[in-house]
Amino acid sequence: MKITQVAGFLGCGKTTLMLRLSRELAGADRKIALVVNEIGEIPVDGKVIEESGMRVKDIGGGCICCEVASTFAKTVYGLYKDFNPDHVLVEPTGVAVPHQVKMAARMSGRDAKIIMGPAIVLFDATRPGELLDMDMLGQLVTTQVKDADVVAISKVDAVDESQLETTTDKIRELNASAEILRLSSFTGLGLKRIQEIILQWKG
Ligand SMILES: Nc1nc2c(ncn2[C@@H]2O[C@H](COP(=O)(O)OP(=O)(O)OP(=O)(O)O)[C@@H](O)[C@H]2O)c(=O)[nH]1
Ligand SMILES: [Mg+2]
C-alpha cells in the first residue's frame, strides 16, 4: 500500500488533481483510496467516488499533520485492514507541512505494510508573488516547496511562458533536488508524468 500526498497551499488545485489522478490510476486494475483532510473549494463527493469502486475517507477537526495526526494514522491503518488498496492518495489541508504528514502516515506503519510515496506539492502558477511573499504566506509555502519530492506548478493553462520560467527558477532556488513539472488538470498536461512518478516511486 503506497501513500502519496498531494499537498500545497489553499486553492492550488489539489482536489481537482486527486480526482483526475484517482480515475487514471484506478483504470489499470488497481485499488485506490482517497483521504481528504477538510472540505475545500471543490467538495469531494465520496458517494459518487465509492460507486466507482474506490474508498474515500474524510478527516475533519484539524490538520492531519498535527492536531488529528493520530486519527489520520488510524484511518490509514483501517484502510489497510478493511480495503487493502494499492494506492492511498492523501490531500492534506493547504497549511500542512509535507514531512509532518509523512511522519503521521508512518505511525500507521508499525502494523500496516506501507510504502511511503512521493510528496507532490502543487504551486499555483497564477499567484507566485503572493505565495512567496515573506510578509504573507512565504514561510509556509517555502517550507512546503522545500519539503517536496516533486513540485507540480499547477494551472499552467492560465499563465504565459515567461511567467512560468520565472516561477520555475524561483522554485528551483528553493529546492534543488525535486523534480519540477508543469501541471494543468484542465488540459491534462503533466498528469501522465505524475502517474508514472507515483507508480515507480520506491519509498
Ligand atoms: N486554470 C486552472 N484552474 C484550476 C486547475 N485546477 C484547479 N483549478 C481551479 O482552482 C480552484 C481550486 O481548485 P481545488 O482543486 O479545489 O483546489 P484545492 O487545492 O483542493 O483547494 P483547497 O482544498 O480549498 O485548498 C478551482 O476553481 C478549480 O477549478 C487547472 O489546472 N487550471
Ligand atoms: Mg481541496
The predicted-structure confidence for 9-59, as pLDDT tens digits, reads as follows 999 999 999 999 999 999 768 999 999 997 777 788 888 888 889 999 999
Report CA(37)–ligand 2 centroid distance (Å).
Answer: 8
Which residues fall inside 5 Å of ion ligand 2, going by CB? Answer: 14-15, 40
Q: What is the pLDDT of residue 28?
A: 65
CA 203 – ligand 1 centroid, Å:
28
Does ligand 1 lie within 6 Å of residue 118's CB atom? no
For ligand 1, say whether the CB of 155 is within 6 Å of any of its atoms: yes
Mean pLDDT (the chain, rounded) = 94
pTM of the model: 0.96
Nearest atom, ligand 1, residue 42 CA: 16
* Rounded mean pLDDT, 130-138: 89
Rounded to the nearest whole angstrom, what is the distance from the C-alpha of residue 169 to the centroid of ligand 1?
23
Q: Domains along the chain?
A: 2-200 (3.40.50.300)
pLDDT in the model for residue 64:
94
Which residues, at least 6 apart from 192, have a Cβ–Cβ distance to it below 8 Å? none
CB 33 within 8 A of CB 83: yes
**Which grid cell sits at 172?**
528551483
What is the spatial distance between Cα 59 and Cα 68, in angstroms, rounded to a whole number? 8
> Who's near 65: CB < 8 A, 6+ residues apart?
92, 96, 97, 100, 101, 103, 104
CA of 67 to the centre of ligand 1 (A): 25
**Rounded to whole angstroms, how far apart are CA atoms 175 and 150?**
10
The values of phi and psi at residue 40, to 5°, are -100, -155
| 71-104 confidence digits (pLDDT tens) | 999 999 999 999 999 999 999 999 999 999 999 9
The string of pLDDT tens digits covering residues 169-198 is 999 999 999 999 999 999 999 999 999 999
CA neighbours closer than 13 Å in the CB half-sphere of residue 17: 31
Q: Distance (Å, rounded) from C-alpha 159 to C-alpha 161? A: 7
pLDDT recorded at residue 112: 78
